[in-house]
C-alpha cells in the first residue's frame, strides 16, 4: 500500500470521529461551561497516560485564553498535591475508559470538598461519568491505529473537546487579541500588541536634510542613513520624504535635468507618520494599508523623533 494512502486513511478515520463528536454533545456541555464561568477559582485538569498528555495541552490552551488553569498529575495529587485544589476550583478529569484507577481515587476528596467536577470519557455509564457533576462524551467508534490499541482517534477527540471548551469560554468572555497578547509577551502577537513604536524605532543619526538640498546631498544622506530614505525638514517641520525608489524613478523620468534638481522637486509631501507611543500593531496595519515599508515617528507635539520600518516589527 502507498505510504500516502496510509496517511490519508488516518486523516479520514480521525476526521469522521471528530465530526461525530457534535452528535454526542448533551446539556452537560452547556452546564459545564456555565459552571466554569461562574467559578471564582481555577479550572484544574487531571488525567493519566495519553489522557494526561492531552490534558496538559488543554490546560495550557485554557490558561492562555482567559481561563486560569493548570494540569495536576493524579498520582502526584493522591500523594500530597491535593492541597493545590481549593474549594472554589472546578476540576476536569479525563479518562477514555472512565475507569482509570489513579483518576477515580481523586473522587472522594473532590466530593468531600464539594468541588464542581467535569469528566471526559468514552463511556456515559463509566464510574467516572457517574461520579462527576457533568460528563462530556468523547467516545469514538474506531481508533486510527490498525491494531485498535494505541490511542489515536480517542486522544484527538479528547483534544478537540478541550478546544471546544476553550473556544466557547473565549467567546463568552469576549477574549480579544489584546488579552491573548498579555499572556504571550514573547510571541510575535504579543510583540505587536504590547510593544510601542518608540521601543523599536531608529532614533540615532537619522537621515535628515532640507527642501533646498541638492540631489547629490540627498543621495549622500540616503547612503549614510542606511534606511533607504531621507526625511525633509524645514524649521523642524516635516515637509516630505525621499526614498531610494524615488531617486531611481526620477533618474529615469527626468534624466537630463536630474542633477540640477533639489529635494523639494522629488520629495513626497505629507508622508505617513505614527506616534511613538502607538503599538506595533498600529504601525503594521498602517504600513499594510498604504503598501509602504517605513513610517516617520513623531512625539506628542508632532516633532520628528525617529523612523520605524517593517523589519523592526519582527514580522
**pLDDT tens digits for range 220-244:** 999 999 999 999 999 889 999 999 9
Q: Which pLDDT belongs to residue 59?
A: 96
pLDDT at 283 over 90: no
> Which of 33-47, 177-191, 238-252 comes out lowest in average pLDDT?
177-191
- 229/219 Cα distance (integer angstroms): 9
The answer to whether the beta carbons of residues 283 and 191 sit under 8 Å apart is no
E runs forming strands in 48-114: 69-71, 90-94
Contacts of 226 (CB under 8 A, 6+ apart): none
Give the pLDDT score at 195.
79
Q: Is the pTM of this model over 0.85?
A: no
The predicted pLDDT at position 311 comes to 82
Give whole-number Cα distances, 143 to 10, 18, 104, 137, 171, in Å.
9, 12, 24, 16, 31
Instruction: Note whether 28 and 119 are within 8 A (CB).
Output: no
Domains of the chain: 3-175 (3.40.50.10490), 194-313 (3.10.580.10)
pLDDT computed for residue 80 by the predictor: 84
Q: Strand 90-94's sheet: what is its strand order?
A: 69-71, 43-47, 90-94, 116-121, 134-137
- Reply yes or no on whether the pLDDT at 148 is more than 90: no
pLDDT of residue 312: 80
Q: What is the pLDDT of residue 193?
A: 64
* Half-sphere exposure for 169 (CA within 13 Å, toward CB): 28
pLDDT digits (tens, 9 = 90+) for 20-61: 999 999 999 999 999 999 999 999 999 999 999 999 999 999
Amino acid at each position: 500500500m502507498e505510504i500516502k494512502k496510509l496517511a490519508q486513511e488516518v486523516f479520514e478515520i480521525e476526521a469522521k470521529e471528530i465530526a461525530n463528536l457534535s452528535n454526542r454533545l448533551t446539556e452537560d456541555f452547556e452546564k459545564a461551561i456555565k459552571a466554569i464561568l461562574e467559578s471564582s477559582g481555577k479550572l484544574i485538569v487531571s488525567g493519566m497516560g495519553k489522557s494526561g498528555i492531552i490534558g496538559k495541552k488543554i490546560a495550557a490552551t485554557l490558561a492562555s485564553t482567559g481561563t486560569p488553569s493548570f494540569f495536576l498529575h493524579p498520582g502526584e495529587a493522591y500523594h500530597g498535591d491535593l492541597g493545590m485544589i481549593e474549594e472554589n476550583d472546578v476540576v476536569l478529569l479525563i479518562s477514555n475508559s472512565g475507569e482509570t484507577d489513579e483518576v477515580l481515587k481523586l473522587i472522594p476528596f473532590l466530593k468531600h470538598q464539594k468541588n464542581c467536577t467535569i469528566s471526559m470519557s468514552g463511556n456515559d455509564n463509566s464510574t467516572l461519568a457517574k461520579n462527576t457533576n457533568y460528563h462530556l462524551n468523547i467516545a469514538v467508534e474506531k481508533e486510527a491505529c490498525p491494531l485498535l490499541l494505541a490511542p489515536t482517534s480517542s486522544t484527538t477527540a479528547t483534544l478537540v473537546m478541550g478546544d471546544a471548551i476553550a473556544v466557547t469560554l473565549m467567546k463568552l468572555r469576549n477574549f480579544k487579541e489584546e488579552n491573548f497578547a498579555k499572556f504571550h509577551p514573547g510571541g510575535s502577537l504579543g510583540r505587536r500588541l504590547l510593544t510601542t513604536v518608540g521601543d523599536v524605532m531608529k532614533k540615532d543619526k537619522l537621515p535628515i536634510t532640507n527642501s533646498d538640498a541638492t540631489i547629490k546631498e540627498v543621495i549622500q544622506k540616503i547612503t549614510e542613513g542606511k534606511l533607504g530614505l531621507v526625511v525633509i525638514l524645514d524649521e523642524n517641520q516635516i515637509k516630505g520624504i525621499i526614498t531610494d525608489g524615488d531617486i531611481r524613478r526620477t533618474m529615469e523620468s527626468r534624466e537630463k535635468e536630474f542633477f540640477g534638481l533639489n529635494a523639494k522637486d522629488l520629495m513626497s509631501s505629507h508622508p505617513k507618520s505614527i506616534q511613538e507611543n502607538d503599538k506595533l500593531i498600529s504601525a503594521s496595519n498602517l504600513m499594510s494599508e498604504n503598501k509602504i515599508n517605513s513610517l516617520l515617528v513623531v512625539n506628542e507635539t508632532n516633532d520628528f523623533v525617529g523612523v520605524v520600518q517593517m523589519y523592526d516589527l519582527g514580522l
